[in-house]
Amino acid sequence: MKKALIIRPDAELDLAEAFGWYEARVPGLGSDFLLSIDAALSSIQRTPKLYPILYKNVRRGLVRRFPYGIFYVVEEDRIVVLGILHARRDPKTWQDRA
């Protein structure tokens, strides 16, 4: 059974900023980015414990084609996405959200 996927407001803001950045560079690239994020979130939802724990109980799933990680916590009945961040961002950004 799939767990509910909860995306925190901080993660939604991360996603909106990244979408805007890609879309401003090349029209349509933002949409490609969102499709890649959606595929990664689907994979996380199907097999949440497949991805490694990086800090405390926070796991990271990588996004294909784009240098982004999805940081999340697996709880008993849900998966909580803490952040969707570029690979070069300071790790303290997502660690503070844990």
List, for residues 8-53, the tens digit of each pLDDT value: 999 999 999 999 999 999 999 999 999 999 999 999 999 999 999 9
Domain total in the chain? 1
Phi, psi for residue 94 in degrees, rounded to 5: -85, -25
The CATH number for 52's domain is: 3.30.2310.20
What residue numbers bound the domain in which 45 lies? 4-95
For residue 49, the model assigns a pLDDT of 94
- For 61-97, how does the pLDDT look when each residue is reduced to its tens digit (9 = 90+)? 999 999 999 999 999 999 999 999 998 887 777 777 7
